[in-house]
Structure 1
């Protein structure tokens, strides 16, 4: 297919894509929410999230080694379940969770940018700024692979350096003491369920590694480099997350971290560095969210294009010219805009976490039941990944059902609509079963 260029992404480019997605939504939008659920020792939750993600990544690395593909997870699911409702629905869950992630990043961009102009009083501007960023991401994405790779790699490096400077500066001001954030009043006691639920959000902050699998066939020497890129991206992100979480924890009481949960990094910079620190942090947040959204839009439009080519999802041109991938790019951006306008940050993150964990479990089950010999996967590791996902998902749904049942309802409706919609679509548009080539 002319849409995919083999060897157009280097190992460094792939790591740039992975960290580009991860270190945007992850730390800026979710740190305060993780603190709210986990309480005093919230930085440690990122380690737990990294471990759970490590077990999860095993299935994806094994699949990528066997089936490097520009369709990534869509291709993996097809190899496990064939061309049917499960494959199409789980791939759509992944795609929608990625679009939700884009709207999360877009709102984060708006929230942090407003810290330069008076913050909360101008809250109505958050979705407007978010939509503006999504339009910019669309324009960058229609300019081609080489530019995206160069842009995301340079920007990923810049924001990682910036965040490490922020974290080390914050820890230096606090005397490098690794002490938990004090209560600071108004903080609810964490329960075991809420601490486990916090892991779900940290998993969301690591899930950017799947971006790499979605560009599998375009990476140089994919059978070797996809796995390397995934491991490197998760490791780099974990180190950055830990440093930042400890810096925030050392400089702000827990109550203030939770109060400023949508922009807690900017708030933590204030006692350490004053207004200059806030500006520095906001500029890094802007750089990080821009690179994150460009990388994520790039990946999800590719995946939707592949599902369309496999005739697993309906496609309408709406009079648009050009390739299918350009059309899926438009759909991706429009849906992300709608979500960015309708939902606030914590609700977007929660729906994204639920959809992603459900999809992740479907992938692990497919590897365990249908492909473990073919991809040479160790059942014990895949079963562990499944169990960890199930525990985290159950705790997260329980906590949300008690505190914000609408989120659980919206997530269930999303999942049902996707599965029922795909079942009806495939029933009226049957796809012939075939061994789909993986050499795009």
Structure 2
């Protein structure tokens, strides 16, 4: 059985976990991709993403208040759909989207670290550094909750303070200008679909709040603090995202932001602060990605352990010592390493967005159809969240079909295999 420790995570620790996951991947890995889709006014897309995320978070807060659980989303799905294929498959979609997020952060770590050296970004060192970070995250996670929450809380404070300095400093250099980014000679002409698709990536930047729900029963006074931690984390992340996005927009032309989309913050530090600014930005990126990986691995391993305890997913010990949590840590890290090695940042982000939005829609439908009275949810808010997800997912898929059909195909084959595999497993073990 998995070992869950009640009251082992404080409100501050929960906020640290949430912001640790969000800010690490959200701003460092995705800002350039958002600019590529939305054009000169890309900072405003983060506001849209924050609003959509707030609607989405409503369902999770209501569920957490009624069913606080260390399995978080897995337990929510059981309450809505029972122990069947939909529950198991949707929970795996969530877990895998979080593992995808880990590989996104790991590659971001490698990309930003190499900015300190004259190394091509296509170098094998990017995935190698990412794999090294994932190995470190595994070692930290086997050390226990107390160390994890202390480490992530301190790291979150450091990176938030550092990014605030970067954002305010960059805006100061630009005379606190909030004008759209200059085109730089190559204008981007976004469509309505690409604007909406860009929101999908910002949602991926905010989805770290689910890390908090996945640790529900381990948080002190969960019915009071889970909702608080979620809203505080989203608010802090949105403020940081806006500061950084406007700072980058003020110091780099749009074509340069897009060209250097995998390391746009480091590139923006050069004209604003010179070499010292570059070192400072890369240092913050390293702290942010390390804390993000640790917090995400922490949440996913507990969710997979609970699904295993409920016999909703297959599990093999492979001769490994320790409890189920230790085994799921290994599975999580190995899959993240595979994605880190074989996929680039853009495709990793796209897969993560598609899988997460599908799972999110299943959660909202379950609340509306089966649980709205039990958890006291407002139907209008839940249906609004569901509708926003559907529109954003449709726009994102349409844009990706026209630009990268491969990643859409891989994502949908992956989803079909998960549902088919879970149906086969549950029928065999019934």
Alpha-carbon separation, structure 2, partners of 1:303 and 1:4: 11
Tell me by how many angstroms 1:147 deviates. 0.2
CA RMSD in angstroms comes to 0.8
Distance 1:210 1:84 in 2: 22
DSSP 3-state at the match of 2:120: helix
Instruction: Report SS of the residue matched to 2:375.
Output: coil
Match of 1:197 in 2: 197
For 1:185 and 1:260, how far apart are their aligned partners in 2?
A: 16
The 8 Å contact of residues 40 and 180 in structure 1, kept in 2 or not, is answered as yes
- Deviation digits for residues 134-155 of structure 1 (CA, Å, limit 9, x no counterpart): 0000000000000001000000
Instruction: Quote the residue 1:365 is aligned against.
Output: 365
Offset of residue 119 of structure 1: 4.0
Equivalent residue of 1:184, what SS? coil
When residues 381 and 121 of structure 1 are mapped into structure 2, their CA distance, relative to the original with a 3 A threshold, is closer
| Residue of structure 2 in register with 1:378 after alignment | 378
Change (3 A) 1:217 1:132: same
Match of 1:49 in 2: 49
> Match of 2:415?
415
Helix, strand or coil for the counterpart of 2:179? coil
User: Post-superposition shift, 1:121?
Assistant: 5.5
> Aligned-pair distance for 1:196?
0.4
Provide the residue aligned with 1:435 in structure 2: none
Q: Structure 1 stretches (4+) deviating beyond 2 angstroms?
A: 119-123, 185-188
2:138 corresponding residue in structure 1: 138
Q: Secondary structure of 2:374's partner?
A: coil
Q: CA deviation at 1:187?
A: 4.0
**Contact 1:111/1:123 (CA < 8 Å) preserved in 2?**
no
TM-score by length of 2: 0.99
CA deviations 1:13-67 (Å, max 9, x no partner) are 0000000000000000000000000001000000000000000000000000000
Kindly indicate whether the alpha-carbon contact (under 8 Å) linking 2:111 and 2:121 is maintained by their aligned counterparts in 1.
no
Question: Relative to structure 1, is the Cα distance of residues 121 and 93 closer, same or farther in structure 2, using a 3 angstrom cutoff?
Answer: closer
Deviations 1:57-101 (A, max 9, x none): 000000000000000000000000000000000000000000000
| C-alpha distance in structure 2 between counterparts of 1:267 and 1:93, whole Å | 34
Return the TM-score normalized by structure 1: 0.97
Counterpart CA distance in 1 for 2:180 and 2:335 is 39
Q: Name the count of aligned residue pairs.
A: 430
Q: Offset at 1:352?
A: 0.2
Distance across 2 between alignment mates of 1:134 and 1:263: 20
The Cα shift of 1:189 comes to 1.2
Q: SS of 2:248's equivalent?
A: helix
Contact 1:301 1:328 in 2 (8 A): yes
Cα deviations across residues 89-146 of structure 1 (Å, max 9, x unaligned)? 0000000000000000000000000000114266221000000000000000000000
Which residue number corresponds to residue 214 of structure 2? 214
Shift in Å, 1:318: 0.4
Q: Please name the residue that 2:59 is paired with.
A: 59
Give the distance between the partners of 1:187 and 1:376, measured in 2 at CA: 48
Q: Distance in 1 between matches of 2:306 and 2:237?
A: 28
Could you say which residue in structure 1 is the equivalent of 2:103? 103
Map 1:236-255; keep pairs closer than 5 Å: 236-255=236-255
In structure 2, what is the Cα distance between the partners aligned to 1:120 and 1:200?
A: 29
Query: For residue 40 of structure 2, what is the aligned residue in structure 1?
Result: 40
Q: Using the alignment, how far apart are the partners of 2:119 and 2:14 within structure 1?
A: 35
C-alpha distance in structure 2 between counterparts of 1:395 and 1:361, whole Å: 15
Question: Structure 2 CA distance, aligned partners of 1:103 and 1:47?
Answer: 25
Change (3 A) 1:121 1:208: closer
Deviations 1:293-324 (Å, cap 9, x if unpaired)?
A: 00000000000000000000000000001100
Residue 398 of structure 2 corresponds to 398
What do residues 244-280 of structure 1 show as CA deviations (whole Å, max 9, x unaligned)?
0000000000000000000000000110001111110
Aligned residue number for residue 310 of structure 1: 310
Question: What's 1:332 paired with?
Answer: 332
1:393-429 CA-to-partner distances (Å, cap 9, x unmatched) read 0000000000000010010011001000000000001
Is this contact kept in 2: 1:114–1:122, CA < 8 A?
Answer: no
| CA deviation after TM superposition for structure 1 residue 230, in Å | 0.2
Tell me, what secondary structure is at the counterpart of 2:367? helix
Distance change (3 Å), C-alpha of 1:62 and 1:365: same
